[in-house]
Structures are given as C-alpha cells and as structure tokens.
Chain A
Amino acid sequence: MMMKKKGLANFTFSGFSSDEVLLNALSSSNNTIRNDAFNALLETLHQPIYFHLRRILGNHEDAADATQNTFIKVHTSLNTFRFEAKFSSWIFSIATRQGIDLIRKRRNEEVEFEDHVTHLESDVYFDGDHATALLHAAVLTLPEKQRTVFVLKYFEDLDYKSISECTGTSTGALKASFHHAKEKIKPLLNSNVL
C-alpha cells in the first residue's frame, strides 16, 4: 500500500472549512452532526495515524490498539484542545503519546535487532524486501524519543516545527535526537543479518 506523505498542516477534513468548524461539530450534542464530523476526521486521519503508530511499534496488534485508543482519547479530550496548534498536530501528539506508552510497557521485553528483522520478514502484513526490513527493524531498536523523531522526520517527512508541536520538544533537541538516531541506524543497515 502506497501512502501519500503529507505535512500535518496540509490535512483537510472533507465538508469542514476549518479546524474550528470541525471542532464545533465534534462537540455537538446532536448525535448525527457529531458522528458526521467524527466520520470526516477518521476519513482523513485514520490511516495516517495507524501507519505512524505501526512504524513506531512495529506490529499490527499494538498499532491497532493504539490507534483506537487515540481516537477515543480525542473524543473524550476535545474540551482540552486550545487551538495552540493545528488540530491534526494535536491528534498526532495524542497518537505519539499512546505509542510511547506502549513502548514503555514493552520495555521489559527487550528484542534484539536480528529478532526484529526475523519478525518483520515473517509477518504476513509486512510487504518489504530485506533492505526495508533492516531499516524498519533498526528503527525499532531506537529509544522511544529517537524512534518517534526518526519516524516523524524520515517517514512522515515532517518539518521540525510540526514535530515539535507533536512531541513538545525544542527543535534543537529534535535535531540532536534525529542525528543520534541516524548514527545508530547506519551500522545496522550494513550488518549481515540473513
């Protein structure tokens, strides 16, 4: 499946002219209006959020759980959105937090790089060649912060300002994290894992 990359600011919600209009509909006491708004939200962000989480977490089950939790959290926390960032950035930040929480839960289950490669190549829902498996397995070995920054920068192609909105981290720290992530990934891509 080919995903078209988008910057966070470029997401638009069909039938809703702005974040404010969408937010009003999502907060409506009228079930039909609220469901139509949530439907539009899912049409635009469901797949981007899922694949963002899949790249961070590496497997379908965790990504599916985190995606569902993200949208339910969005629904229950709408009254905390303060228009300080794009609505889509806010949703990505919730998704990223859900992903990080799952990484922390799995922290005790340390998996080696070679095992990530084996797992990805045997996953029926992974359709990449060996080099792609090496890259994604290398990403999964990164610490949570570096992993998140690398996924948002390299795969989602976001600028540092958008990543900063997602993670609440300064751009300087993000650049350092991305640099460290690249330095850790490089040698793994040249390794001889079969």
Chain B
Amino acid sequence: MEKNPYQVPPNFFEKQKAEILSVVSQSPQKKTSVFSLKKMGLVSIAASLAAAVFVLSPWITNSAPPCITYSCLLESIELDDLSESDELLIEEWEDDAFEEEFGVYLF
C-alpha cells in the first residue's frame, strides 16, 4: 500500500467543510420549477412555435399571402364590391393626384 505523499495546509478540511456547509444551508434544495432551465427551454420553443403559427396562419389558411402594402389592399378589393362612382373615381384619377392624395408613389 503506497503512502499518500500529498499534504494539505493546516485546518484545510475543517475550513472547507465549514464553507461547503454554509453554501448548502443557504441555498435551498433544487426543486422542479416552471422556471428551471430545461423547462424554460421547452416553454421558449413552444412560444416560438405558437408565434410562428400565428404569423404564418394567413399563408396556411389562404393560398395568397396577406396584404401588408397599400397597393396590395387596393388590388384585393373586388370591383364588384365598389359602387359605380368609386370605380369611376379610380379610373379617372391621374397618377399624380393619386400620389398626392395617398402619399403613395407609383412607378
């Protein structure tokens, strides 16, 4: 049996034991919590998936992408839904007047 050549500073074990017991008595035993790292990860993934589904839902439910520009909104309005005077207005409006009225520049 080999003699252990390693020594420690005086009272090392007593001091370290006191430090460890101090940490153990201060910090409560780890409990399973909704805020545990693993659960937070799962919650984040679930939240991201829910957000993605919400954002993509118009693409999922309709074949066409949702309107996010003014011109798209205009195009999406069925002419049948407009009154005759509205149709006339759209046809008669010059590009310059349209741009001035709505601040939208046509190219």
Interface residues of A (CB under 8 A from B): 1-3, 5, 27, 29, 31, 34-35, 38-39, 42, 46-47, 50-51, 54-55, 60, 64, 67-68, 71-72, 75-79, 124-128, 132-133, 136, 155
Kindly list chain A residues whose C-beta atoms are within 8 Å of the C-beta of B23: 72, 75
A-B interface, 6 closest residue pairs, ranked by CB to CB distance from nearest: A128-B5, A125-B7, A3-B4, A54-B6, A71-B20, A132-B5
**Main SS of chain B's interface residues?**
loop
Q: B residues touching A (Cβ–Cβ < 8 Å)?
A: 1-9, 12-13, 16-17, 19-21, 23-25, 27, 29-32
Q: Interface on chain A toward B: helix, strand, loop, or mixed SS?
A: helix
Q: Given known contacts A34-B29, A75-B29, A77-B30, is B13 in contact with A50 (CB within 8 Å)?
A: yes
* B1 contact set on A, CB distance < 8 A: 5
CB contact under 8 A between A136 and B13, given known A38-B21, A68-B20, A75-B24? no
Residue of B nearest to A27 (CB): B29
Are B20 and A125 touching (Cβ within 8 A)? no
